[in-house]
Amino acid sequence: MDSLDPDFLHLAVALGIGLLFGAERGWQQRSAPDGGRVAGIRTFGLMGLLGGAAGMLTGEGGALVLGFVFLGLVAMLTVAHVLEAQQTPDISITSLAAGLLVFLLGALATRGEPGLAAAAAVVATLLLSYKPTLHRWLGALDVKELRAGLLMLLITVVVLPVLPDRGFGPWQALNPYAIWWMVVLIAGISFVGYFAVRLAGTRRGLLVTGLAGGLASSTALTLQLSRAARGNGEAVPSLASGVLLACGTMLPRMVLVATLLNGALLEFLLLPALAMGLVVYLPILFYWHRARSARVDLPSPLKNPFEWRAALGFGALLALIMLLGEALRQAFGERGIIALAAASGITDVDAITLSLARMSGSELATEVAAFAMILAAAANNAAKGLLAWGLGGRALGLRVGTVLLASSLVGLAAALPLLGGRVLP
């Protein structure tokens, strides 16, 4: 036999899916005596095989056999669960649902989608194994954050599909669908950082806070940590590490956002952003090594990016930047866009990054858009360096401001060849 029968391989995948679930469920219930659980590794393996065999029996026709076998399994597992619930206080139906899923994935594997079935099994098993972590994450949310996230999802799912996907206003520069889609993109990335800061807390580790804060808002984190440095000289090296981590993390975030909208930007952004990041990240090793174990207890410096006021405010800023960008391009060409990037980057990088990424390739040369993004990031880092100096004092300013200024200069030097003399005189 030159190769294994495909049906045999698919059936093996179905068995493997059942054994994978069974190993996880068996480990979670390892303290239960033999026969004290509804299903263990053997039973889950058999359910996977049962699903695979039922899937093969359906052939090319209807799924009547598969449906009857599935209903029989539902009845059997339900009875077993009811009997178990009468003896233990645990009424969770997780194992019941896992058994039904094993059957369906086993059937899917023998119905021509073994790769999809295996991938779904791995994801489902991870969800099962991370139960304590997921519950801890959920417990870290308060009711306002949960409602804000649900409201944002509702608005996105209901409102976004019906927004007009065409230009309005002067030069047709404002596209409601594109603006709101970009608002959701930034809010989603920011929420990852915001939630990570909520989980870690500034008390537990400034490095984690700085890294996650850079995904959410490096400017807000710089403000909070700089204020904490006043009169707390012992903690300055640690606080400087946190600020620099946040400012450095802003760079891959910018590259990610830009390339999600236009993949061609990656080629031009990668080298300047990498150069800037190295200049920012390397001193952190020195600062953190010299940092004393000073206690730093701060409230969360970040606001929930899913709050509707924050989302609408960013959407208004993005619309303004898009309108100004088109106006300056019409009046001054590429030089106007670069001037806008330098000015707007002082306070916010996301809005100008999104606007430039959307214009790149069609209304604006990709190389010029990439240079303008690096210029905005350089202006933003320089502004945060001055902010750290002004609020945190000389000790923090020397550690943070000089590094961020050097990073800005290195980034601009690396990005300058992108212009090729086409904009500068």
Enumerate the domain spans of the chain. 6-129, 142-418
Query: So what's the pLDDT on residue 278?
Result: 93
Instruction: Of 66-80, 179-193, 405-419, give the lowest mean pLDDT range.
Output: 179-193
d(CA 309, CA 148): 10
d(CA 290, CA 208): 18
Query: So what's the pLDDT on residue 31?
Result: 56
377 versus 171: which is more confidently predicted?
377
pLDDT higher than threshold 70 for residue 268: yes
**Which range, 24-33, 63-72, 197-206, 289-298, is most confident?**
63-72
Average pLDDT over every residue of 177-187: 75
Percent above pLDDT 90 for the chain: 9
d(CA 63, CA 43): 24
At 274, the pLDDT band (50, 70, 90 cuts) reads very high
394 versus 165: which is more confidently predicted?
394
Instruction: Of 104-113, 256-265, 328-337, give the lowest mean pLDDT range.
Output: 328-337
pLDDT higher than threshold 60 for residue 367: yes
Query: So what's the pLDDT on residue 245?
Result: 86
At 352, the pLDDT band (50, 70, 90 cuts) reads confident
Short-list 26, 48, 198, CA closest to 108: 48
pLDDT higher than threshold 90 for residue 79: no
Calculate the average pLDDT of the chain. 77
Residue 21: Cβ within 10 Å count: 27
pLDDT higher than threshold 70 for residue 293: no
Q: What's the pTM value of the predicted model, to 2 decimals?
A: 0.67
Whether the CB-CB separation of 390 and 356 falls below 8 Å is answered with: no
CA angle 267, 272, 277 (to 5 degrees): 120
pLDDT higher than threshold 60 for residue 422: no
* Half-sphere exposure in the Cβ direction for 39 (13 Å, CA): 30
pLDDT higher than threshold 50 for residue 380: yes
Query: So what's the pLDDT on residue 406?
Result: 92
126 versus 169: which is more confidently predicted?
126
Instruction: Of 35-44, 318-327, 331-340, give the lowest mean pLDDT range.
Output: 35-44
Average pLDDT over every residue of 263-278: 92
Instruction: Of 33-37, 47-51, 104-108, 353-357, give the lowest mean pLDDT range.
Output: 33-37
Whether the CB-CB separation of 175 and 213 falls below 8 Å is answered with: no
Average pLDDT over every residue of 337-361: 85
